[in-house]
Copies of this chain bind each other. A is one copy, B any other.
């Protein structure tokens, strides 16, 4: 029974790693679609989001099945319930990558992001990509120190978002309301993606230490 339970957990982890890899690939491709006005890339991200949703459903079924068959208690129960939360965060990260892709597709063939904002979005996407990479590593092998680094990454994302707003709110912003609105919403998509990555780090720290840092991002 104990052995079976461990096998169940390994299967759940494997599904979560697959989700994490997918949402990392989705944001990379969505960013490329955004910065190079690549419609085919944008469409591919939009189409493939349902794959992430389908794996999340598998996580939910596997967790329910594990609880029903193994009746875990205490830290064992905490572990499988945490997997559900992590799956929900990853599913949402996939949605946010899709939102970036949809913005790129909607403005095609024009670029959604003017030249002045491109380096900032490139920076946000790079940090977000490192965060998704850390999540993948952490899901395979939890590590409180690496999980805590996600907080620092998130601060970098927040700084870049502030920079974005500073550029758009300058008196000499030449692009008008529509481009500012797209810029603000896109900034929020990257920032929320990072927030969910931080949440996952928090869930993993909780699993490792049994303590929350009270930092779940809203």
Which A residues form the contact surface with B (CB < 8 A)?
A: 49, 60, 63-64, 67-68, 71-74, 77-78, 81, 84-85, 88, 92, 95, 98, 165, 168-169, 173, 175-178, 180-181, 183-185, 188, 218
Contacts and interface: CB of A to CB of B under 8 A. Distances in A.
A85 to B, nearest CB: 8
B95 A78 contact: no
B67 A67 contact: yes
Q: How many copies does the complex hold?
A: 2
A106 to B, nearest CB: 12
A74 B68 contact: yes
A95 B177 contact: no
Nearest to A98: B218
A81 B78 contact: no
A36 to B, nearest CB: 24
A132 B72 CA distance: 35
